[in-house]
A and B are shown apart, each in its own frame.
Chain A
Amino acid sequence: MDTRIDFYPTHQQQGYKLRPGRAFPFGATLVPGGVNFAICSRHATSCTLVLFEKGAPAPLAEIPFPDSFRVGNTWCMVVFDLDYERIEYGYRMDGPWDPAAGHRFDRSKILLDPYAKAIGGREIWGEPPDWNDPYPHRARLIFEDFDWEDDRPLEKPLKDLVIYELHARSFTRHPSAGVKHPGTYAGIMAKIPYLKELGVNCVELMPIFEFDEFENSRPNPVTGETMYNYWGYSTVGFFAPKTGYAATGPLGMQVDEFKNLVKELHRNGIEVMLDVVFNHTAEGNEQGPTLSFRGIDNQTYYMLTPEGYYFNFSGCGNTLNCNNPVVRMMVLDCLRYWAAEYHIDGFRFDLAAILGRDPWGAPLPNPPLLESLAFDPVLAKCKLIAEAWDAGGLYQVGSFPAYGRWAEWNGKYRDDIRQFLKGDAGMVPVLAERIQGSPDLYGWNKRGPTASINFITCHDGFTLYDQFAYNDKHNEANGEQNRDGGNDNHSWNCGVEGETDDPEVNALRKRMIKNALAILLMSHGVPMILMGDEVGRTQRGNNNTYCHDNDLNWFDWTLLERNADLFNFTRQMIALRGTHTLLRTRDFFGTGPTQSDIIWHGTQAWNADWSPGSRTLAFMLRERQAGQAGNTSSVLYMALNSYWDALPFQLPELPVDYRWHLFANTALPAPHDIHEPGHETPLEPHQHSFLVGGRAIVILIGHP
């Protein structure tokens, strides 16, 4: 091997041995004897590599790339004999300062490599940084030597997933979590047994790419407590895991710790999905800091107005120029990297509608980035999920360019189910669509129910408990006079705004939560549960807790004991979904090769009430051959009553020898509210109707 001539330097500067590098891959790559640095800029006139001793305030060396080391718009150089473990690196770029033309080069800034795979500067969450640091987010070198053994992405069919959305810090930061390393990747790992017991098989992590919790941090005007960029929807580095989420961050082992978490989740049958934010960066607008992209090639990386200002389709100051070929390549490289090096199973794209806009903001009919992602060979088995809207008014639920691959967060599912649950009239027809996987939205272009990620709650908005405890948002703690956060919550407080000792109100709230979970887990499509909804987590009416590092966001584990019935209800509903393939079909009823049917009923069997005043619906799921020729498959029946009084529902006839069994009745208190699948309570053989309580749901299972 050491006879290869590309192991040897050809140039020397300031005592550093160099040779021309390779243009690809971009970023810093360990090569025999040295490190290959490659970075591109269309408009820069020169580039300098800046090296630091880890944590040092001033550079160790600045090495201008010789002109002969530039290939096209890419500067590439191998530096030999670097101490990989002890250096940090950045760049200075020369070029015009001409904002009107879109150029904001500033040689005084040291810039983060967009391809940095580990980033120092925020090693310990919340520890105030040195505000005078000339290079606040520092690129580091990493080794790709993690021992994955035989692990690989699980490639579970989308139809079988039950997604659990969680925040990496909030999940175990509360003192009640009882883990050794609260608020970290290691903390999540310690809670894998909980996730398994609940039965979810996919965790969707809110952003874990490196971000700056101090971006726009400020004291709370009421409490004085620091408010952070807590959720992290503002990326500093797309290739690096958030160091401050790693217990080993101060030791520089965040990559190992996160990979170990993925490996352990996989070992327990749980997929890992990342919430990725490619719509904007942490550099904000004209007033924001120059950290990386702005100083490397502003006109390439950002969507700019003709006057050189930043388009703001993200609502966060700038918009990443995703359909520029260079940026598109970065996004692809990034996702490939996470899929290949971290074994990530899928991605949820924040404000994904932006990814379909051209550099001037207009929606593209055939967006190259979305198409590239859909057909990429490395991402071929990854789930791709779009939040199919943006802050610029582009709403694409049902019409997101899918290429046979993309699923969508179904915002209409959330809104319609919420309205039905609170008792709004006129919702029964759309309820039927949502329960079937929204064929009205996805029954075209060869899409199926799995195009619909069903959710009633997510990190944006009320928790499920708050959904039934508050009529209005209460965001005063955010310091914006309650102006922030959505107003279209479709919530109902069950008679009292906020906490109450009234046992009837509290019982009703629990029933409403169970109703919601029952609908979610009986619906076709892919259910997603928000962290803590299974135990009644509250944010005290705050529907936009993006800035709070406190118990407004933290999972309070004492709820697991206090609301054990909710946990058990959720667990059994998930188990039911896992037991019955009828609930997990790839095709809509009446299409494709499906052998199952959905039959609509109302308070009268075979006669659903679709009228505007209706608040009741029932349906039956069965295999077409159920009860015939030795086919003993089960029949599922669900009765939904959002009317305020109890109503008798006439039960449909079952095949001969079949009998109805009660699986769930949300009107009953625990432990009678739900049964373990396979241990349901049989109804009387000749029971032909069931009295469904006011605002309650009943699930029956028919089998021999």
Chain B
Amino acid sequence: MAFSANLEMVDSEARITLEGELDAAVAGQFRQAIEQAVQQKPQKLVLFMNNLQFMASAGLRVLVFAKQHMGSEVAIYVIGAIGPVLNTLQMSGFQQAVYVQESYP
């Protein structure tokens, strides 16, 4: 499945739906979506990962970028991460920096 990162704003929440495989080749698209979201000055960033099958180091780097760029006052939610994506978040320690949930809201 081709990678896609779609941003929509719902009130003060930036919601990004990720699908496919997030590797180095497409990480730029994800980063672009994050930068667009930052411009909207959201209070919350919600990342839907139910259909994300794989995340490489490049994807994790964008998550770290998002966390650092948005600052600690913006809560980041990771929704529906499963299998290797969830493993990656856990083993890299990133799950401590965000709220990992099965569903949202």
| A residues neighboring B (CB under 8 Å) | 83, 85-86, 143, 145-147, 149, 180-181, 185-186, 189, 246-248, 251-253, 256-257, 259-260, 263-264
Contacts and interface: CB of A to CB of B under 8 A. Distances in A.
Q: Which 10 residue pairs spanning A and B have beta carbons closest together?
A: A260-B93, A85-B24, A256-B92, A252-B57, A85-B58, A145-B64, A186-B91, A86-B24, A257-B91, A253-B57
B17 to A, nearest CB: 22
Contact of A253 (B24, B25, B68, B88): B88
Contacts of A180: 87
Given A247-B87, A252-B56, A253-B57, A259 B24 contact: no
Interface in B81-105: 87-88, 90-94, 96-97
A143 B93 contact: no
Given A145-B65, A247-B91, A259-B93, 10 more contacts: A85-B24, A85-B27, A85-B58, A85-B61, A86-B24, A145-B64, A147-B94, A256-B93, A257-B93, A263-B93
Contacts of A146: 64, 93
Given A147-B97, A251-B56, A252-B56, A257 B61 contact: no
Nearest to B87: A247
Contacts of A145: 61, 64-65, 68
B60 interface: yes
11 contacts: A85-B27, A85-B58, A143-B64, A147-B64, A147-B93, A147-B97, A253-B57, A253-B92, A256-B60, A260-B92, A264-B93
Nearest to B25: A86
Interface of B: 24-25, 27, 55-58, 60-61, 64-65, 67-68, 87-88, 90-94, 96-97
Contacts of B58: 85
Contacts of A256: 57, 60, 91-94
Nearest to B28: A83
Nearest to A263: B93
Contacts of A181: 91
Contacts of B56: 85, 251-252
A253 B96 CA distance: 16
By secondary structure, the B interface counts as: helix
Contacts of A259: 93
A256 B97 CA distance: 13
Contact of B88 (A83, A185, A248, A263): A248
Contacts of B65: 145
Contacts of A147: 64, 67-68, 93-94, 96-97
A246 B87 CA distance: 12
Nearest to A186: B91
Contacts of A252: 56-57
Nearest to A257: B91
Given A85-B57, A86-B24, A147-B97, A260 B91 contact: yes
A259 B92 CA distance: 8
Contacts of B96: 147, 149
Contacts of B64: 143, 145-147
A17 to B, nearest CB: 19
A253 B60 contact: yes
A248 B92 contact: yes
Given A85-B27, A85-B56, A253-B88, A143 B94 contact: no
Contacts of B67: 147
Contacts of A263: 93
A255 to B, nearest CB: 9
A251 B88 contact: yes
Given A143-B64, A145-B65, A147-B67, A257 B57 contact: no
Nearest to A142: B57
Nearest to A54: B24
A244 to B, nearest CB: 15
A186 B92 CA distance: 9
A350 to B, nearest CB: 28
A185 B92 CA distance: 10
A253 B88 CA distance: 8
A145 B61 CA distance: 8
B20 to A, nearest CB: 16
Contacts of B93: 146-147, 256-257, 259-260, 263-264
A235 B84 CA distance: 30
B62 to A, nearest CB: 10
A251 B96 CA distance: 20
B68 to A, nearest CB: 7
Contacts of B55: 251
Nearest to B64: A145
Q: Considering residues A246, A247, A248, A259, which has the most beta carbons from chain B within 10 angstroms of its beta carbon?
A: A248
A253 B94 CA distance: 12
A119 to B, nearest CB: 14
A682 B57 CA distance: 60
Contacts of B94: 147, 256
A247 B97 CA distance: 20
B42 to A, nearest CB: 20
A246 B65 CA distance: 23
Nearest to A147: B97
A259 B94 CA distance: 11
A82 to B, nearest CB: 12
B97 A251 contact: no
Given A85-B57, A147-B67, A253 B97 contact: no
B27 A248 contact: no
A246 B88 CA distance: 11
Given A85-B24, A86-B24, A248 B61 contact: no
Given A146-B93, A186-B91, A263-B93, A251 B24 contact: no
B18 to A, nearest CB: 16
A149 B95 CA distance: 13
B10 to A, nearest CB: 27
A408 B6 CA distance: 58
Nearest to A256: B92
B27 A253 contact: no
A180 B27 CA distance: 28
A614 B55 CA distance: 67
Contact of A248 (B24, B68, B91): B91
A147 B70 CA distance: 14
B30 to A, nearest CB: 12
Contact of B91 (A85, A149, A253): A253
B75 to A, nearest CB: 15
Contacts of B60: 253, 256
B61 to A, nearest CB: 6
- Most chain A beta-carbon neighbours within 10 Å: one of B25, B64, B93: B93
A430 B95 CA distance: 53
Nearest to A140: B57
Contacts of B25: 86
Contacts of A253: 57, 60, 88, 91-92
Contacts of B57: 85, 251-253, 256
A259 B100 CA distance: 20
Contacts of A257: 91-93
B77 to A, nearest CB: 16
A264 B65 CA distance: 22
Nearest to B67: A147
A665 B69 CA distance: 60
Contacts of A189: 91
